[in-house]
Amino acid sequence: MTPRDPSGPPAPDLSPPPHKGADEPSGLSALGTLGGPDDEGGGGHRKPRRRRWPRVLIAVGVFFALVVAGLGGLAWQRQSSYNGNIDRIKGVMPDEGAGRPGPNVAGTENWLLVGSDSRADASTTGDGGQVWKPGQQRTDTIMLLHLPADRSKAYVVSFPRDSWVEIPGYGNQKINAAFSFGGPKLLIETMENLTGVRVDHYGAIDFEGFKSMTDALGGVTVDIKQSVYDPARKVSWTAGRQKLDGEKALLFVRQRYNLPNGDFDRIKRQQAFLSALAKQAAAGGTLTNPLKLDRFLSAFTKSISVDESVSGGKLRSLALSLRHLRASDVTFMTTPFRGTGMRGKQSVVLLDPAKSKALFNAVKTAGMPEYVRQHGGGNSLGTVS
């Protein structure tokens, strides 16, 4: 399905665009992943850079960790420490005014969650990290997290990173190019322009946080449909259930070569990992073991960056509102697409306008339960390629 495109959009020209565009963030490809010039995906004529470590988004981590905090009765004496660990980014949200969608249905909340690629081994988000370096980053993962007003469910929509969309001020490009052109703000503007859904909050997580959260839980278990070899990293995966530590989990969610459906299968791997992470957090003794809970929350809060409006009180309220949510209450899906194609020399994902509009409207109008009843319950993650 998704062609192997190691490079994606060419490195952006950082001179002022012909039209003044939003100086925005992390092109929202996620709910899938859109490839940029730093993509590892396949064209065959370019070798993936070994030192380029994509910062893999713990898609629902921005709220799964909070669920754990709420359920576990987050120790009051540690709240100040956890809150102080979180990096808050100023000026991430788009300015109010023309162009932004109106407010969402009262009580609902939408988060744009991303993972970024800084082309370096150092952290780019979280404690002391720089979340965006102009012209040097793409978003490896882009997801929209929708929380209904009653918090009885959660919906995670992945956007393929090669999705061909309009980026304000830059014309049609792969969605993840928005992050390189203008950082998180432009990515949010691109996402709002594409979906018509107002983004309430932004969250990013990096590679080091991904590994440390997994290891803090003692690893997670995934089920692989059939044995497969990753030639890019020389890793063989055996069919069946696999227990992954942080390092192996990173390799698992990064694989793109040799998967039957390329990036689309990688999206499902990412989602399967997130689901396994949530289940392990709930069933692995994390809630009843103060030391394990502290390790998990410390690893999580030291590795994330959020918009400056997300206060400690906001996080506590979110945790409490999600305290009854279970992993089975989370629906994962991918933005509807028609297939793949070429735009110039770029291989791209072509979204399905009509089907995508129905999904985005369901998010905007708080109609996701009915949408799922009509169109199905999302991606099957019991076993993945």
Domain count, the chain: 1
| Residue 55 included in any domain | no
Note the pLDDT tens digit of each residue in 104-141.
999 999 999 887 544 334 444 555 445 455 555 566 68
The position carrying tokens 């992954």 is 244
Q: Which of 109, 61, 75, 90 is nearest to 300 (CA)?
A: 61
| Residue 43 included in any domain | no
What are the two backbone dihedrals, phi and then psi, of residue 159, each rounded to the nearest 5 degrees? -115, 120
Residue 7: is its pLDDT beyond 50?
no
Segment 2-24 shows an average pLDDT of 41
Q: How confident is the model at residue 78 (pLDDT cuts 50, 70, 90)?
A: low
| Residue 46 included in any domain | no
| Residue 40 included in any domain | no
> Who contacts 91 (Cβ-Cβ below 8 Å, separation ≥6)?
185, 308
CATH code at 266?
A: 3.40.630.190
Lowest mean pLDDT, pick from 64-73, 217-226, 288-297:
64-73
For residue 130, the enclosing domain spans 61-219+246-375
Note the pLDDT tens digit of each residue in 157-170.
989 989 999 999 99
| Residue 41 included in any domain | no
| Residue 6 included in any domain | no
| Residue 71 included in any domain | yes
Q: What does each C-alpha distance from 84 to 15, 81, 273, 299, 336 come to in angstroms? A: 36, 5, 27, 13, 39
Region at 128 (left for phi over 0; alpha for psi -120 to 50; beta for the rest): left
> Does residue 50 contact residue 210 with C-beta atoms inside 8 Å?
no
| Residue 22 included in any domain | no
Tokens coding 48: 């993936």
**Spatial distance between the Cα atoms of 39 and 137, rounded to a whole number of angstroms:** 10
Segment 86-93 shows an average pLDDT of 88
What are the two backbone dihedrals, phi and then psi, of residue 176, each rounded to the nearest 5 degrees? -75, -5
Tell me the HSE value of 192 on the side-chain side, using a 13 A CA sphere: 28
